[in-house]
A = this chain, B = another copy of it.
């Protein structure tokens, strides 16, 4: 029997202790998302390797770079160790010691101040869960089927660039309400909810958001996080945290039976997809960032056609999504700043000796996100 042994951990933060012989620094031929690194730089790694230099990376689809690997998989050891080897380090790592490589709404000075002030436990969520939440939100808010609600213009006039005409229709206030369900309230689901709330607040979008999970402790965490977000991060709208059956009732009641404009699926199994299908409206968008396995999609062709459903599947290009995720992290220190408090996303920081117990507790939903400190 061949047993695959590898080091787990696809999210990590650290310091550059050595540069490999093949590492090349920034040069004019390299795109700006290729980081210059030197020993001593503080870095956070996205959960996948990407070269930063190919066609796929240039487009921002860094999660599917042909040279990519997933950290903490049989193909590449991960971060649950004192040291980790990072292939294609210039393309992969965010250099937290050099904020000049990305553009941001935050001035450079504010960025640098943030980088030196933020706790490592806060920066760590940039490796996967926060950019994945931003990714889900961005896909939903930029989906063509969501466009009429956000622009206040009927299909196809909501697409300004291509259309040569349409029907000028007056919308009611209700027509302009964005109805969203977020399925799955693990750490990524919480980040997705915070990201969506932040986006609708910033853009002054009227909304109703239902956050759904069968697990009570996850729902309690979500409620506590929502309470902790200050007014700037949630604008005005309706927000509910529900179990599965409640979510169906709430969406039906809120939308007079129409269903949600967009459903964000942050679980990755067929039950979650079926629930998303039940909750979404005809001409709605389902954004799935859950990691799906072998089972086929539990939907027939006629179900898909008859409801005019859209689906976006797949992995977050974390390297590309870093800049907006970083800004969100800075804005939302009210929820991403602490450790071990009722509203903290990170429940505790432990040494590897507590790893087995921590995984057990996470699986049971008894604890949220746990960070390992390999030097503890």
Contacts and interface: CB of A to CB of B under 8 A. Distances in A.
Given A139-B144, A199-B162, A282 B167 contact: no
B58 A154 contact: yes
Interface stretch (A122-130, A307-315, A348-356): A307-315
Given A155-B320, A305-B292, A55 B148 contact: no
A203 interface: yes
Contacts of A172: 55, 58
Interface in A306-351: 306-315, 317, 320-321, 323-324, 326-328
A23 interface: no
A308 B300 contact: no
Given A56-B258, A59-B283, A296-B301, A157 B310 contact: no
Nearest to A317: B155
A168 interface: yes
A302 B297 contact: no
Contacts of A298: 296
Nearest to A199: B162
A126 to B, nearest CB: 13
Interface in A249-263: 258
Nearest to A323: B165
A60 B167 CA distance: 8
Given A142-B144, A156-B138, A203-B162, A167 B310 contact: no
B313 A310 contact: yes
B142 A147 contact: yes
Contacts of A295: 300-301
A103 B310 contact: no
Contacts of A14: none
Contact of A168 (B103, B165, B308): B103
A363 to B, nearest CB: 21
A155 B321 contact: yes
Contact of A294 (B106, B269, B273, B302): B302
A141 B137 CA distance: 20
B59 A149 contact: yes
Given A64-B308, A159-B138, A167-B32, A154 B320 contact: yes
Contact of A55 (B63, B258, B294, B305): B258
A56 to B, nearest CB: 7
Given A103-B157, A155-B61, A33 B313 contact: no
A101 interface: yes
Contact of A142 (B162, B165, B175, B293): B162
Give the residue among A138, A139, A268, A283 with the most B Cβ atoms within 10 A: A283
Interface in A115-151: 134, 137-139, 141-145, 147-149
A31 interface: yes
Contacts of A323: 156, 163-167
Interface string A169-212: 11110110000000000000000000000010011000000000
29 contacts: A55-B175, A58-B169, A58-B170, A58-B175, A59-B148, A59-B175, A59-B283, A60-B148, A60-B169, A61-B148, A61-B283, A63-B308, A105-B164, A106-B165, A141-B162, A162-B203, A166-B320, A166-B323, A166-B324, A167-B323, A273-B301, A292-B300, A292-B304, A293-B300, A297-B304, A304-B313, A305-B314, A309-B313, A311-B311
Given A32-B169, A296-B298, 4 more contacts: A60-B155, A154-B320, A162-B324, A283-B314
